[in-house]
Amino acid sequence: MWTELTPRWLQEIKHYNTHSMRLRKRKACLLVIDMQNEFLAEDGAVFFHYAEAIVPNVNRLLGAFRKASLPVIFTAHVHEDPAVDGGMTAEWWPDIKQGKSLIKGTRGVEIFGAIKPGKTERIIWKHRYSAFYNTDLELILRGMGVTDLVITGVLTNCCCESTARDGFFRDFRVFFLADATATSEPEFHVASLKNLAYAFAYVTTTEAILAQVR
């Protein structure tokens, strides 16, 4: 099980994960990155089993943030016309370039049913890995007075890491959850956690954040 490996991962990155931070509860926002059918539904074009393993933790976090009346923002990766809005992302991923993956109006771009956004919760539609790139995310966060970002979702080493880095560049305090993010290979996950802990984020766990939100 993916999440059962978390203690081992935290031990591996311990040398780098030295910037311990405590969440500023009333200035915190939960970011749920790209938890879409394309990655989580078994018929999704980019389905991988590890994504399913973090759904329970993401749901626990959603419940806690909602109960505390704290903001939750979802993101979804989508392309209307890859030839126009795909750029290097489409060049890199043939399924996107050929219109087979993450295309507007298809079931694959919808948020996975087990973690549907609430009626008042925003979805940031993005065309690149980072949720900050050419979106209103920063504007929305500043307007809500958010300083602390709690990052969950997929894929650890692509959209989650890119968003964490961009958040750090914008002076947000980034909390990256080792057991509520996932990618296709454990090696990718650990490498990202090391990079992020070294220079961009405090790598922590679902339980640690829940204890500060409740």
Q: What is the set of active-site residues? A: 34, 126, 159
Largest CA distance in the chain: 46
Q: In angstroms, what CA-CA distances link 192 with 99, 126, 188?
A: 29, 21, 6
In this structure, are strands 173-182 and 28-33 parallel, antiparallel, or unpaired?
unpaired
The packing angle between helices 55-67 and 206-213, to 10°, is: 10
Whole-number Å distance between alpha carbons of 27 and 21: 13
In this structure, are strands 148-154 and 122-126 parallel, antiparallel, or unpaired?
unpaired
Which conformational region is residue 21 in: left (phi greater than 0), alpha (psi within -120 to 50 degrees), or beta? beta
Reported as type and span, the H/E element at residue 51 is helix 49-53
3-class DSSP state for residue 200? Answer: coil
